[in-house]
Amino acid sequence: MKRINRYGIRSLERDFPNNESCLNFIFNTLHKPICSCGGTFRLLTGYKKYQCSKCRFRISPTANTIFHKSDTPLSLWFKAILIFSNAKSGISAKEMERQLEVTYKCAYRILSQIRSALKQSNEPLTGVVEMDSAYIGGRHYGGKNNEQLSRAMKKKSVVTIAVTRGGKIRAEVRPNVTADEMEDFIMNNISEGSNLMTDNAKGYDRVKGRYDLEKVNHGKGEYVRGKAHINTIETWISHIKSSIRGTYKVISKQHLQSYLDAFVFHYNNRYSDKGRFEVLLETLLHA
Ligand SMILES: [Zn+2]
């Protein structure tokens, strides 16, 4: 599938030329235009509120959203959301600071609020599902001749990933790659009976019988056997590793999951720039 439509700063300025149009969008997303009394809500000029034409009931559309009590104007918030939405390799607070011409603190706060709204779905993946684990994060230096490799590895986190072919991805920070952990991840994230593609790790054998398990043996140089491979996952892992290296340099263990949630959001909404922006806006409004 090709990207259906572009959505950049010019489209945003056309659709949301000012703070009022942003507020109007928020109102229309969260509220009905007609009051229960039969009157019609209209924007009170000079206030960020809508008022019923008959009973005078007032609604503040930004109440209970991340936009509430924020000093950042709505149109700037929308720009930040678009920039985040289009940054498929991630975006650092430093970069957002430059793009928006705001303080680092403001950029950092905006990004954390966006990321924390992006929780992954817990709907089971189904069909042909690839699965793999990777060591991600921490500083990379393994030392000359790898003598510090084990120390470098300890700084990394285990991330277990599953993806359906042509569909959605799931990525979780897990404590380790023992058979117990893998079984737990599989049972929680993948529908029983699915066609599960993995590498040759022994741990997967636990779920044989409950899943249609097909392994490829990387150790023996086997990467694809018929439709059995985990190339979709490996491509994604190398994308997020290089994105982390290029954009964030280092992500602490504590924050890794929320960065993964953002990468997963980008992957799962990869086909349309406009669609991704709209999904992100709606997600933030309902967070
Ligand atoms: Zn009313």
pLDDT digits (tens, 9 = 90+) for 134-160: 999 877 666 677 777 777 777 889 999
- Rounded to whole angstroms, the maximal C-alpha distance in the chain is 78
What is the Å distance from ligand 1's center to 33 Cα?
Answer: 10
What is the Å distance from ligand 1's center to 27 Cα?
Answer: 15
- pLDDT of 205 higher than 80: yes
Residue with tokens 């285990």: 158
- pLDDT of 1 higher than 60: no
* Lowest-confidence segment of 23-27, 66-70, 184-188 by average pLDDT: 66-70
What is the Å distance from ligand 1's center to 54 Cα?
Answer: 5
What is the Å distance from ligand 1's center to 51 Cα?
Answer: 8
What is the Å distance from ligand 1's center to 28 Cα?
Answer: 16
Neighbours of ion ligand 1 (CB under 5 A): 35, 37, 39, 52, 54-55, 57
Q: pLDDT-based confidence at 2, cuts 50/70/90?
A: low
What pLDDT shows up at residue 3? 52
What is the Å distance from ligand 1's center to 53 Cα?
Answer: 7
